[in-house]
């Protein structure tokens, strides 16, 4: 049966819809970002670098987590908007460096929040410029997903401490090991992005798999 003909004229463009960055713009942003060590060399003070190095030394991936990461097959550029001065970044970004070391297909770069405000404007969370925020990209720089600024386990702990029962989540309390919980939370996001890429019909056609 033929679809009914609509007598309603098509709506006009939504005011303020604008245009998101193109893949070429994301590729340029990725090129402007820096690998982990280079980012700290350029942006961290000696005191800040000491805190980042100390946290990096505390991150431990389990054998199961390393096995999972070593099974990633799709190249996955990741841009992390961050700041060397940011405590949340100190507590989370070294985790990403460990992920990238275990999975060579993770092409990890860090972009200082204030270095490229034109790009940073697209990393907002709840209308605010927060860090760290990770953008996961396909190999041809098409956005896959954003994630930030704190992990679910960290927000549960903050909600329990700041608002208590008025924001109950059904969980009795935060994880005993906050770093291990954050590592697990972030690994879920890296795995999710990798699975989106691995199962993408467009990319499977390109790679013949």
Q: What is the pLDDT of residues 142-167, one digit of tens each?
A: 999 999 999 999 999 889 888 765 44
Give the number of domains in the chain: 1
CA-wise closest residue to 82 among 143, 38, 31, 133: 133
16 in a structural domain: no
Is residue 28 in a domain? Answer: yes
The answer to the question of residue 73 being in a domain is yes
Tell me how far apart the alpha carbons of residues 157 and 3 are, in angstroms, rounded to a whole number.
52
Q: Is residue 113 domain-resident?
A: yes
Task: Give the pLDDT score at 6.
Answer: 58
Q: With contact defined as beta carbons under 8 Å apart, do 202 and 80 qualify?
A: no
pLDDT value, residue 161:
86
pLDDT at 173 over 70: no
pLDDT exceeds cutoff 60 at 22: yes
Res 174: pLDDT = 38
Answer whether residue 77 is part of any domain: yes
CATH of the domain at 84: 3.40.30.10
- Evaluate whether 125 touches 155 at the Cβ level (below 8 Å): no
Q: Is residue 32 part of a domain?
A: yes
Tell me what pLDDT residue 3 has. 59
In a 10 Å sphere around its CB, with 0-12 CB exposed, 13-18 middle and 19+ buried, how is residue 109 labelled? Answer: buried
Q: Is residue 114 part of a domain?
A: yes
158 assigned to some structural domain: no
Q: Domain range holding 137? A: 23-149+177-207
């Amino acid at each position: 049966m033929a679809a009914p003909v609509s007598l309603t004229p098509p709506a006009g463009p939504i005011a303020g819809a604008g245009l998101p960055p193109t893949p070429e713009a994301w590729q340029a942003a990725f090129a402007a970002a820096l690998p982990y060590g280079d980012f700290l060399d350029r942006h961290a003070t000696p005191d800040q670098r000491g805190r980042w190095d100390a946290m990096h030394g505390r991150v431990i991936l389990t054998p199961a987590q390393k096995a999972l990461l070593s099974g990633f097959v799709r190249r996955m550029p990741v841009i992390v908007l961050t700041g060397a001065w940011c405590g949340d970044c100190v507590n989370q970004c070294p985790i990403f460096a460990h992920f990238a070391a275990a999975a060579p297909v993770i092409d990890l770069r860090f972009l200082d929040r204030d270095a490229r405000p034109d790009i940073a404007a697209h990393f907002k969370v709840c209308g605010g410029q927060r860090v760290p925020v990770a953008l996961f990209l396909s190999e041809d720089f098409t956005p896959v997903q954003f994630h930030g600024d704190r992990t679910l386990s960290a927000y549960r702990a903050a909600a329990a401490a700041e608002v208590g029962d008025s924001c109950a989540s059904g969980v009795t309390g935060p994880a005993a090991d906050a770093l291990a919980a954050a590592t697990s939370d972030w690994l879920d996001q890296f795995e999710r992005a990798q699975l989106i890429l691995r199962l993408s019909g467009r990319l499977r056609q390109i790679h013949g798999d």
